[in-house]
Amino acid sequence: MHDVAIYFERTAGSNLNGHRSGAKSQAESNGRGHGVRAVRHADGEDDLLYDELSQQRIETAVRQILGAVGEDPMRDGLIGTPGRVARMYHELLEGYAKDLDRVINGALFDVDYDDGEMVTVADIPYTSLCEHHMLPFVGTAHVAYIPRDRVVGLSKIPRIVDMFAKRLQIQERLTNEIAGAIEAALDPQGIMVVVEGTHSCASLRGVKKHGVNMITTARRGLFREDVSLRDDFYRQIGR
């Protein structure tokens, strides 16, 4: 992760930064993906591994698409394309191999926060795939929460964003899934998520409008009730 701006109204807790070691392989199935394997590292992170069967199925499908559009999948420039596309999809969709407990990996810290004090993590870049056309949409996510009695390690919120972004998505659901996961992990007094996105399915096809920025929000708890908290959050993220 880079270019992630962090704002604290009070210093609280510390983040957990581990080094990868002691990798352990295991099969994964989360109800939205099948045939997915992951390597779990000591820091709780999972690396998606594509098994041979799913790799072959994607490669076969790509060859069929190439043939259907009139190309020769065996010509020099395309012979390696099916394998590259399969690896690309496994990388872009690796969120299916992750779950909230492993992403957080115990990095929750008790704090003494006064009511209404906010933790904001802004300008989190993400890339996702639109589930309607499987075209990319990219943007930034901004997250604020008001702790009840604990905070989460600094790196974990961007990782939560990635866990949901690296799936077939729509932006509205992505926004609510981020909010719901943080709410489940922390039980904060309030949480607000703003996601901005530029969708290539709208710029490359259909209406073909470039530079259109979609903004979605999710508000829970105090952020739903208190306009001044929302205004403070918008001010922190420059909106």
Residue pLDDT, tens place only, 105-119? 999 999 887 666 899
What is the overall mean pLDDT for the chain?
83
Select which of 55, 171, 189, 196 is catalytic: 171
pLDDT > 70 in the chain, percent: 78
Question: In terms of pLDDT, which residue wins out, 16 or 147?
Answer: 147
* Known catalytic residue at 90: no
- pLDDT at residue number 166: 98
* Known catalytic residue at 41: no
pLDDT > 90 in the chain, percent: 67
Question: In terms of pLDDT, which residue wins out, 209 or 30?
Answer: 209
* Known catalytic residue at 210: no
pLDDT exceeds 60 at position 23: no
Determine the 3-state secondary structure of 61 from DSSP.
helix
Select which of 9, 71, 117, 201 is catalytic: 201
DSSP run (H or E) holding 180: helix 171-186
- Domains of the chain with bracketed CATH: 5-16+108-236 (3.30.1130.10), 24-95 (1.10.286.10)
Q: Of 13-22, 135-144, 214-223, where does mean pLDDT reach its minimum?
A: 13-22
Q: Which residue has the tokens 């098994």?
A: 51
Select which of 26, 91, 131, 172 is catalytic: 131
CB-based contacts of 228, cutoff 8 Å, min separation 6: none
* Known catalytic residue at 130: yes
> What's the Cα-to-Cα distance from 191 to each of 185, 198, 223, rounded to whole Å?
12, 24, 6
Q: For the chain, how long is the longest CA-to-CA vector?
A: 65
d(CA 199, CA 162): 17
Question: In terms of pLDDT, which residue wins out, 47 or 214?
Answer: 214
Confidence of residue 204 (pLDDT cuts 50, 70, 90): confident
> What's the Cα-to-Cα distance from 78 to each of 33, 55, 74, 181, 214, rounded to whole Å?
28, 17, 6, 41, 35
Q: What is the Rg, in whole angstroms, of the alpha carbon atoms belonging to the chain?
A: 20
Confidence of residue 49 (pLDDT cuts 50, 70, 90): low
Cβ(120)–Cβ(147) below 8 Å: no
> What's the Cα-to-Cα distance from 124 to each of 10, 95, 140, 175, 178, rounded to whole Å?
21, 16, 5, 13, 12
Cβ(176)–Cβ(218) below 8 Å: yes
* Known catalytic residue at 201: yes
Q: pLDDT (tens digit, 9 = 90+) per residue, 179-190?
A: 999 999 999 999
